[in-house]
């Protein structure tokens, strides 16, 4: 079982002067779900190398068992510091793809033509595609074989408008994940803010927020099984 995880390379939070990137829990929890299930995990990002970490996700109050495990795991740290570029990824080699969130994907992965092609390729090859929190932003421009939005008519979730408002970034982000998914015809579903909520619609596996990271990864494994 081979799983590709694709992280953001974007580190600027709009014009605020603050840093963003990927959210540590949304990487660490799925990574260990996959590794503990015996999967061979490959990490990639648009620019390759070390993806930017959202500093807020490294704060003491954001730590979980998975993030603490990562901090004491030099092999995982080395893998993260040396992600492949998307150009160097042979997607035929993988059984599934998973996107951790953080605000970074709103700026780069949502618009990256290589990422769009990877998602569409996996979906057409009947391989599961997973994304958690802000990472469902990657479906913004993806389409199916008929040219319709990939999420149209699909039950999906992602970071809610109220959660974005709760972190005070509604007017900073380039678009709201919830609104975008609805505009593209998705059957958008959400649970309570900050509580785990996962949608599995065939090959499309999405999670609402950081609390959904582990469950989203387990749902992806379920789709593979």
Cβ-based burial of 114 (10 A; exposed 0-12, middle 13-18, buried ≥19)? middle
Please tell me whether residue 41 adopts helix, strand or coil conformation: strand
What's the pLDDT at 143?
98
Cβ atoms of 181 and 134 closer than 8 Å: no
What's the pLDDT at 31?
98
Give the list of residues 6+ apart from residue 127 with CB closer than 8 angstroms, or none: 94, 95, 96, 97, 203
193-to-5, 7, 17, 160, 212 alpha-carbon distances in Å: 25, 24, 27, 7, 11
What's the pLDDT at 225?
87
Residue closest to 12 by CA, chosen among 164, 159, 174, 163: 174
Count of domains for the chain: 1
Cβ atoms of 51 and 8 closer than 8 Å: yes
Q: What is the dihedral of CA 122, 79, 157, 160, to 10 degrees?
A: -150
| CA–CA dist 181, 154 (Å, integer) | 10
> Could you tell me the CATH number of the domain that includes residue 219?
3.40.50.880
Write the Ramachandran bin of 90: left for phi over 0, alpha for psi from -120 to 50, otherwise beta.
beta
Beta strands in 125-211 (DSSP E): 129-132, 155-156, 187-188, 198-201, 204-207
Cβ atoms of 138 and 105 closer than 8 Å: yes
Beta strands in 91-202 (DSSP E): 96-99, 129-132, 155-156, 187-188, 198-201
Dihedral sign for Cα 67, 171, 137, 201, please: positive
Domain that holds residue 216: 2-224
Look at the pTM and tell me if it is higher than 0.85: yes
* Per-residue pLDDT reduced to its tens digit, 75-115: 999 999 999 999 999 999 999 999 999 999 999 999 999 99
Cβ atoms of 52 and 21 closer than 8 Å: yes
Residue closest to 186 by CA, chosen among 139, 220, 126: 139
What's the pLDDT at 202?
94
Question: Which residues of the chain register pLDDT less than 50?
Answer: none
Residue closest to 173 by CA, chosen among 195, 151, 158: 158
């Amino acid at each position: 079982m081979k799983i590709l995880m694709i992280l953001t390379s974007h580190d600027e939070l709009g014009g605020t002067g603050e840093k963003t990137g990927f959210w540590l829990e949304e990487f660490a929890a799925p990574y260990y779900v996959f590794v503990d299930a015996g999967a061979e995990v490959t990490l990639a990002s648009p620019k390759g190398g070390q993806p930017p970490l959202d500093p807020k996700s490294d704060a003491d109050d954001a730590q979980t068992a998975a993030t603490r495990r990562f901090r004491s795991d030099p092999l995982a740290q080395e893998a993260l510091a040396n992600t492949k570029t998307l150009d160097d990824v042979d997607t035929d080699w993988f059984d599934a793809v998973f996107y951790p969130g953080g605000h970074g994907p709103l700026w780069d992965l949502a618009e990256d033509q290589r990422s769009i092609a990877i998602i569409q390729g996996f979906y057409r090859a009947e391989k599961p595609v997973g994304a958690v929190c802000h990472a469902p932003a990657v479906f913004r421009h993806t389409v199916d074989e008929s040219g319709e939005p990939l999420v149209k008519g699909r039950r999906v979730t992602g970071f809610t408008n109220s959660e974005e408002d709760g972190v005070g970034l509604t007017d900073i982000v380039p678009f709201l994940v919830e609104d975008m998914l609805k505009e593209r015809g998705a059957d958008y579903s959400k649970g309570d803010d900050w509580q785990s909520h996962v949608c599995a619609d065939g090959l499309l596996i999405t999670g609402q927020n950081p609390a959904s990271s582990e469950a989203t990864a387990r749902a992806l494994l379920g789709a593979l099984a």
